[in-house]
Amino acid sequence: MNNSVAFLTYTLLTAFTPGPNNILAMSNTSKHGLKKSIGLIQGIFVGLLSVMILCSFFSVMLVNIIPTIKPAMTYIGAAYILWLAWHIVKSKPGENAGNVEKADSFMTGFFYNLLI
């Protein structure tokens, strides 16, 4: 029961806080309108749901099979997040300003969740 509460809390916080998925959906919708962005939004939803389910199964497997890996993975995960933050700080705004873009699709939203 305790793991279910933690998982549901994580799911709700991840779904409603402004992260990369919400920013991508907001940006795409503001550029192309809601009708052209529905596919992307549906893809983000299905991708997020898939990633959450896979993460829960993988986490249970790791906790049951290899409980000694948890401290090391904590440091590896923290280092990865700091690396991502550093690259965001170093990035330059407007690098793709001259490109003509089309609205993103369902597959873009779905696969985007697998990459982040």
pLDDT in tens, 59-93: 788 777 777 777 888 899 999 999 988 888 888 77
Q: How far apart are CA 80 and CA 102, in angstroms?
A: 31
Is 105 part of any domain? yes
Mean pLDDT, residues 42-63 taken together: 84
Is 88 within the bounds of a domain?
no
For the CA atoms of 89, 91, 96, 98, what is the dihedral angle to 10 degrees?
A: 100
Q: What is the Cα–Cα distance from 90 to 20, expressed in whole angstroms? A: 17
Tell whether 75 is covered by a domain. no
Q: Which residue has the higher pLDDT, 99 or 111?
A: 111
Q: Is residue 84 part of a domain?
A: no
For residue 28, tell me if it sits in a domain: yes
Q: Is residue 109, in this structure, part of any structural domain at all?
A: yes
Instruction: Using alpha carbons only, give the angle 64, 111, 99 rounded to the nearest 5 degrees.
Output: 150
- Domain assignment present for 48: yes
Q: What is the pTM of this model?
A: 0.50
How far is 14 from 43, CA to CA, in rounded Å?
Answer: 16
pLDDT of 107 strictly over 70: yes
SS3 of 104, please? coil
Q: Which domain holds residue 42?
A: 2-66+101-115
The count of domains in the chain is: 1
Q: Is the pLDDT of residue 1 over 60?
A: no
In a domain, 87, yes or no: no
d(CA 25, CA 70): 33
Q: What is the pLDDT of residue 81?
A: 92
Q: Picking from 1-5, 25-29, 46-50, 52-56, which range would have the lowest pLDDT averaged per residue? A: 1-5
